[in-house]
Amino acid sequence: MAAIEVSALEREFKGGVRAVDGIDLEVQAGEVYGFLGPNGAGKTTTVRMLVTLLRPTAGSARVAGFDVATEPAQVRRRIGVALQEAALDPLMTGRELIQLQATLHGIAPRSVADRGDELIGRVGLSRAAERRVGTYSGGMRRRLDLAMALIHRPEVLFLDEPTTGLDPTSRLTLWEEVRRLRDEGTTVFLTTQYLEEADQLADRLGIIAAGKLVAGGTPAALKAEVGRPHLDLVLADGADLAAAREVVASFGDRRPASDGCHLSIALEHGAAEIAPVLRALDDAGFAVAELELKQPTLDDVFLEKTGEHLEGGDEPEPEPAGGPAVLG
Amino acid sequence: MTHELRMVGALMRRGLNEILRVPGGAVPGVLAPTIFMLGLSAVFGRAAQLPGFDATDFRTFIVPVGMLQGAGFTGAATGVNLARDIEQGWFDRMLLAPAPRPVLLAGVVGSACLRSLLPATFLLAVAFALGVDWPGLLELALAAVLVMGLAAAMACWGVVIALRFRTQQAAPLMQMGSFVAVLFTTAYAPRELLSDWLRAIADVNPVTHVLEGVRQGFVGDVTWADTWPALVSVTGLVVVLGALAVRGMRRQGY
Amino acid sequence: MKAAVLGLARRALRNSARKPQFLAPLVIFPTLFLALNVGGLERTTELPGFPRVDGFLDFQLAAAITQSLLLGGVAAGIAVALDIEGGFFDRLIASPIPRVAIVLGSVLAAGVIAVVQVAYFLVLGLAFGAEIKGGVVGVLAVLAIGVVAGTGFGALGVMIALRARNASTVQGIFPIVFVVLFVSSAFFPENLLSSPVDSLAAYNPLSYIAEGMRQPIAFANEAGPFLEGLAAAAGMTAVAIALSVMALRGRLRDA
């Protein structure tokens, strides 16, 4: 049975803006599904509809077997949610928050004590459990949020940009946790604007741009669909680049890119073409100083599907503290 | 049902948590009604000499107003806190709980009921120290019920506004609402002494009955004739504003 | 110096105009209070000892103006505190304008807003049947005291903001506005106040400011109360500006 089934899902906001414009997707039970897209593409709006925080204006969605629009209470019972804004009461301690979350999910505090301890330990917050959340770092908050989302053993876990704004170490810790959850059989729906995250974690992924799903499949299949591997070469000092270009022009896409003493060749027939390229250069008397085979990335996929690069440039600048002051 | 009660309890504890952990934040709300009561009675105290005033002492007359003002402030503060929770995303977490929406509302509003006893208690302590007569335990119990009920109603009002505007900047609207509700009544003078337009408003304002219900024990004896309109009015306010608040919550998530 | 003060005052005014939600409470709250006092206690003019007035509204207008001006001071303080929180204040300090201009700009803006506040309440009073006994001269007298007092309350707000440095603390002085107003004769004749407020009110400059404005509204133009009110407002303003400049110096020293 599919854990998530979405069909022609739409959300139109006041003023006619369609943040989500007819999305179809299916996530199998036990799968990690990556939902990849830039800021403003409609990721969060989609998640908010799937977790019953926002009513769809058209289309339908079933999560854990229940319709989000007509059986929201059933859905809520079966999902765990860690939203982008890890909303945690700064005045409460980590343990108090876990207990409150358990109570909100109708679990008696007694029966949850062990589970709470286990989760706190699992996300590495045992020593901070009695501290107020106001003193936590960003990474600790996200981990606590994850633990809270897991308290009632949800069938489907929604993580909305779980690592945005985190330092690399905290990001790795969270990735580890997501992998562990998948190994335990939890279905995970994860939104991200990071290609690497989608690549690392997702069994399958969907790419969303301007409210529409523009591509879907396993990361490997998507990459295979758009790209060929590139061979990047650095020639030894003093080499005549123009002459070298002539030599390799008969390989790859016949338009080798060059820059300084770098050469980049898109290989038509994959890695099997490396040896002939090197042999030809060697025969012509060129010495190769460095060599790298580059596989296509999800960014290539994204570029192919949307005409834009995903990463870089769409990270919003952090607002200066205090905000309201206006320059005269 | 026990699950639901436990949820209400947990949400109420969180609401109360705020007073216990940030006591400074609660101080203005606790002091304001007392300041108001002391100030008004010092400034307008002679008004009690007007013929038709049914209390010999203006301070005694105004003490119940202060108690209800505390309830109004507490209710408005509940709305402001909810707006903050909406801004920060905490409210999403509540809506994600698989609990009936009225249960979640009861948790938010319940803490306002308990918190409203704080400014009322402080006010009474000051009033008794200054010589206001002890009205009797039963009278105080009735007053406490009405104060908590009005706090619940005003908290529902705050919730409605918070859900509508989703920002703490709507705070003046919540405060203004409770200010008008509590004071545009027979707060300052008996009905006969009010100017015509204020008497007309006070006559249709249900909080007038609530105020008279609290006041009766301070200025005289508690009678059923003054008690039942107060109880009906406060119940009606809670039901109507509570229904609006639940509707607002259903519109957010559903 | 002059250009810097005017520029900063203009900025403060523009910011206020763009955020009506901050300005509106300055008049709405005193208006509600005015309506309540008049509607609930209009018969108090019948009390023995109450001066002869046409109505309680005539008497209360000056109190509402004073209250509004005090709230204007709180708003001026909040604006400065937000500038401090937002970092704009540090940028001003780092700029080559005279330091005192930073304070005077905000204070001047409070004075300009005071004109609007006074005008609003006079128009409101006229609309609801009050009469300004002193005529045009009376209006000018009310404006004179109101603007000077509004400037001074602005300076007090700025002083508190410079010391407190965060907007929520400045917001917290809101109840104090009521305390200082309650221990004055702004709301009720001094001879009818209860003890101990009756004796305290004589030492409260707000009593003189309110009565100075009340005289031309409710009674008649008379030099004595006007000069007392103006002197009280001017004295309070001079002290407040001095205190806020000192607070600025203290802040610069700590920085």
Asked, for residue A328, whether it belongs to a domain, the answer is no
Q: How confident is the model at residue B130 (pLDDT cuts 50, 70, 90)?
A: very high
Q: What is the mean pLDDT of residues A187-200?
A: 89
For C196-235, the pLDDT digits (tens) are: 898 999 999 999 999 999 999 999 999 999 999 999 999 9
pLDDT over 80 at C148, yes or no: yes
The secondary element (H helix, E strand) that includes residue A18 is: strand A18-28
> Which pLDDT value is given to residue C12?
87
For Cα atoms A192, A193, A198, give the angle at the middle one, nearest 5 degrees. 55
Q: What is the mean pLDDT of residues A4-28?
A: 92
The alpha-carbon gap from A327 to the nearest alpha carbon of chain C, in Å, equals 8
Mean pLDDT, chain B, rounded, equals 91
Q: Indicate whether A257 and A238 sit together in one domain.
A: yes
For A24-46, the pLDDT digits (tens) are: 999 999 999 999 888 888 999 99
Asked, for residue A304, whether it belongs to a domain, the answer is no
Q: How confident is the model at residue A259 (pLDDT cuts 50, 70, 90)?
A: low
Contact between C8 and A328 using a beta-carbon 8 Å cutoff:
yes
Mean pLDDT, chain A, rounded, equals 83
Q: What is the mean pLDDT of residues C90-94?
A: 84
For residues B205 and B181, the answer to whether their CB atoms sit within 8 Å is: yes
Domain boundary at A224, A245, A261, which?
A224
> Which pLDDT value is given to residue A326?
33
> Which pLDDT value is given to residue A255?
54
Q: What is the mean pLDDT of residues B70-98?
A: 90
For C6, nearest residue in chain A (alpha carbons): A328
- Higher-pLDDT residue of A174, B209: B209
* Out of A174-178, B116-120, B179-183, C162-166, least confident range: C162-166
Q: CA B131 → CA A321, B106, B134, C192, distances in Å? A: 50, 37, 9, 21
Residues of C in contact with A322 (CB under 8 A): 82, 85-87
Which one, of A228, A203, A227, A229, lies nearest residue A216 by Cα?
A: A203
Asked, for residue A77, whether it belongs to a domain, the answer is yes
pLDDT over 90 at A240, yes or no: no
- Higher-pLDDT residue of C147, B99: C147
| Residue among A322, A326, A327 whose CB faces C85 most closely | A322
Kindly list the domain boundaries of chain B, sorted by start residue: 2-252
Q: What is the mean pLDDT of residues A272-300?
A: 82
Q: How confident is the model at residue B210 (pLDDT cuts 50, 70, 90)?
A: very high
Contact between C40 and B46 using a beta-carbon 8 Å cutoff:
no
Asked, for residue A45, whether it belongs to a domain, the answer is yes
Kindly list the domain boundaries of chain C, sorted by start residue: 2-39+56-254
pLDDT over 80 at A307, yes or no: no
> Which pLDDT value is given to residue A193?
84
* Out of A88-97, A117-126, B17-26, least confident range: B17-26
For B86, nearest residue in chain A (alpha carbons): A87
> What percent of chain C has pLDDT above 70?
99
User: Subunits with at least 3 CB pairs below 8 A relative to chain C?
Assistant: A, B
The reply to whether C129 touches chain B by the CB within 8 Å rule is no
| Residue among A73, A100, A109 whose CB faces B14 most closely | A100
Give me the interface pTM, i.e. the ipTM.
Answer: 0.88
> Which pLDDT value is given to residue A327?
33
The reply to whether B89 touches chain A by the CB within 8 Å rule is yes
State phi, psi for B55 to the nearest 5 degrees.
-125, 140
Contact between A320 and C87 using a beta-carbon 8 Å cutoff:
yes
Contact between C82 and A321 using a beta-carbon 8 Å cutoff:
no
Give dist(CA B65, CA A51) in Å, integer: 45
pLDDT over 70 at A227, yes or no: no
The alpha-carbon gap from B247 to the nearest alpha carbon of chain A, in Å, equals 14
> Which pLDDT value is given to residue A163?
87
For B2-29, the pLDDT digits (tens) are: 888 888 888 888 888 877 776 666 787 8
> Which pLDDT value is given to residue B1?
64
Contact between C86 and A324 using a beta-carbon 8 Å cutoff:
yes
The reply to whether C221 touches chain A by the CB within 8 Å rule is no
Contact between B198 and C39 using a beta-carbon 8 Å cutoff:
yes
Which one, of B230, B213, B189, lies nearest residue B64 by Cα?
A: B213
**Domain coverage including residue A277:** 230-294
Q: What is the mean pLDDT of residues A98-126?
A: 85
Q: How confident is the model at residue A311 (pLDDT cuts 50, 70, 90)?
A: low
For residues A4 and A28, the answer to whether their CB atoms sit within 8 Å is: no
Q: How confident is the model at residue A320 (pLDDT cuts 50, 70, 90)?
A: very low
Which one, of A129, A136, A182, A183, lies nearest residue A159 by Cα?
A: A182
Per the structure, the count of domains in chain A is 2
- Higher-pLDDT residue of C166, C240: C240
pLDDT over 60 at A254, yes or no: no
The reply to whether C133 touches chain A by the CB within 8 Å rule is no
Q: How confident is the model at residue A155 (pLDDT cuts 50, 70, 90)?
A: very high
Contact between A328 and C82 using a beta-carbon 8 Å cutoff:
no
For Cα atoms C245, C250, C253, give the angle at the middle one, nearest 5 degrees. 125
Residues of A with CB under 8 A from a CB of C: 320-328
Q: Indicate whether A264 and A189 sit together in one domain.
A: no
Contact between A87 and B89 using a beta-carbon 8 Å cutoff:
yes
Which one, of C76, C28, C69, lies nearest residue C184 by Cα?
A: C69
Residues of A in contact with C87 (CB under 8 A): 320-322, 325
Contact between C39 and B195 using a beta-carbon 8 Å cutoff:
yes
The reply to whether B99 touches chain A by the CB within 8 Å rule is yes
Q: What is the mean pLDDT of residues A265-273?
A: 75
Which one, of A6, C180, C127, lies nearest residue B35 by Cα?
A: C180
> Which pLDDT value is given to residue B47?
92
Q: Indicate whether A8 and A94 sit together in one domain.
A: yes
> Which pLDDT value is given to residue A194?
85
Residues of A in contact with B94 (CB under 8 A): 104
Most confident of A157-171, A254-268, C56-70: C56-70
| Residue among B85, B97, B254 whose CB faces A55 most closely | B254
Contact between A322 and C82 using a beta-carbon 8 Å cutoff:
yes
User: String of b and e for A218-246 (b: at least 16 CB within 10 Å)?
Assistant: ebeebbeebbbbbbebebeeebebeebee
The domain that holds A164 is classified in CATH as 3.40.50.300
Give dist(CA A128, CA A134) in Å, integer: 11
| Residue among B22, B99, B100 whose CB faces A91 most closely | B22
Query: Which residue is associated with the tokens 């209860």?
Result: C194
Q: Indicate whether A198 and A260 sit together in one domain.
A: no
> What percent of chain A has pLDDT above 70?
90
Asked, for residue A257, whether it belongs to a domain, the answer is yes
Give dist(CA A71, CA A65) in Å, integer: 10
- Higher-pLDDT residue of B229, B100: B229
